[in-house]
Amino acid sequence: MSTNVIMPQMGESIAEGTITKWMKKVGERVDRDEPLFEISTDKVDAEIPSPAAGLLTQILVKENETVAVNTVVAVIDGEGSAVAVPAATEPKPETAHQGPIHAAPQAAAHIPPPAAPTASEQIETGEDDVRTSPLVRRIARENNVDLGQVKGTGLGGRVNKKDILDFIEQRGPGTPVAPSAPAPAIAPTPSPVSFTGASQAVPMTPMRKQIAEHMVASLRTSAHVYTVVEAEMTRVVAARDRFKEEFERRHGIKLTFTSFFVRACVEAIKESPIINSSVDGTNIIYRRDVNIGIAVALENGLIVPVIKRADEKNFLGVARAVQDLADRARTKRLSVDDVQGGTFTITNPGSFGGLFGLPIINQPQVAIMGVGAIEKRPVVRDDAIAIRHMVYLSVSYDHRVIDGATAEKFMGRVKKILENWDEAVL
């Protein structure tokens, strides 16, 4: 049985990817989940695992070739039958992606043993030759890691992406690593435009087209309704100001406001589980795991990596996940799994000064919360005017399944948690 290997979609706004390296050759055997090829997109570089075990019978996209997501890039013969290698050579470019791709006919032929690693698959580290990939070598350089110290769990001791990232995480603070990213936020910076007349027509990039299609489809799908609340952040600001230096010294990560908002949403979702649902026809699908997507601004767009099972994490666990995902998003080191499976999204236009926004729901989710700027404002407390740190929080929700009362209850709970913050930070 043949299995088509497709170009994955690394986030909802990514329309295409470039194959930078094939780790297997036509005729070689590949195991399920073994790294098969590397891709580079506008936002993410990643090793893509094989979807099945068997023989790689066809490579349909050359290295350094860019194709749309969901394009078939290779074929694996899952039955492990011998194939005629000449029949599986790379096709002409104009026929590479037309319609379903099927494996080449079976034929009796000798399959050569796997080739020795090429020069590009090895890196000198002292006395050892480490089998790895260009992506892993780049991560090692950026984080000042000697690959000779990293234990490879891949085939033949190969150091894969997971190995290097696990090593960096276990190494702990105090070692030079990639610069920390600021708090995740939305609102990408547009590219500058050079005018040649009164106006200038510029074609949308594939990424921008994908964003447009995704947003318009969401508006067609969900009955969008919005509500806004104002929350006092005095206790949260005080906790952050008091512990931020010790938090960074002890844990090696910055204490950002995003972690407070994630924890508040997680606790509120436990009391309003429909916020964590999705719609399938006439069925409401309730999700047990609370997977919080965090919108991260990039140079020319945005991506929404996901904190998986955020409901099982304490404050420190959430803070680690927030910074890790933001750092890897901006250095294009997210994996396919990092950008899939979200059940609720938080976006932060306030980091750019916005009072609040009314974001579009990230399908197939049914709600998204927007965080405004935290500012000092005059408010009435005990019949007197006082100065307090305040923030506007908005929620966009799908009125097909969420009623106004439910949305208000959810936001009221988020507001109460933030205003009466009592969770230990350190």
Selecting from 3.40.600.10, 3.90.1150.10, 2.40.50.100, 3.40.50.150, what CATH number does the domain 2-95 have? Answer: 2.40.50.100
Selecting among 33, 146, 241, 399, the annotated active-site residue is 399
Selecting among 128, 146, 337, 403, the annotated active-site residue is 403
pLDDT at residue 108, as a whole number: 33
> Do 208-419 and 2-95 fall under one CATH topology?
no
Alpha helix (H) ranges present in 272-394?
315-330
Q: How far is CA 212 from CA 219, 282, 394, in A?
A: 11, 26, 22
**Structure-derived torsion over alpha carbons of residues 313, 314, 315, 321, reported in degrees to the nearest 10:** -20
pLDDT at residue 190, as a whole number: 54
pLDDT at residue 312, as a whole number: 97
Q: Which residues lie across from 217 on neighbouring strands?
A: none
- Domain positions in the chain: 2-95, 119-171, 208-419
pLDDT at residue 118, as a whole number: 38
324 is catalytic: no
pLDDT per position as a tens digit, 176-200: 444 444 445 544 445 567 788 899 8
pLDDT at residue 129, as a whole number: 56
Whether residue 223 contacts residue 399, with contact meaning beta carbons closer than 8 Å, is answered with: yes
CATH of segment(s) 119-171: 4.10.320.10
Q: CA–CA separation, 196 vs 356, rounded Å?
A: 36
338 is catalytic: no
Q: CA–CA separation, 231 vs 372, rounded Å?
A: 10
Side chain identity, residue 352: F
pLDDT at residue 62, as a whole number: 92
b/e per residue 251-289 (b: at least 16 CB within 10 A): bbbbbbbbbbbbbbbbbbbeebebbbbbbeeeeeeebee
Reduced to 3 states (helix: H, G, I; strand: E, B; else coil), residue 380 is strand
pLDDT per position as a tens digit, 282-304: 999 999 999 999 998 877 677 89
Q: CA–CA separation, 72 vs 414, rounded Å?
A: 44
Q: How far is CA 167 from CA 141, 308, 358, in A?
A: 13, 20, 40
Q: Report the CATH architecture of 208-419.
A: 2-Layer Sandwich (3.30)
Whether residue 266 contacts residue 290, with contact meaning beta carbons closer than 8 Å, is answered with: yes
pLDDT at residue 286, as a whole number: 97
What parts of the chain have a pLDDT lower than 50? Answer: 80-128, 173-183, 186-189
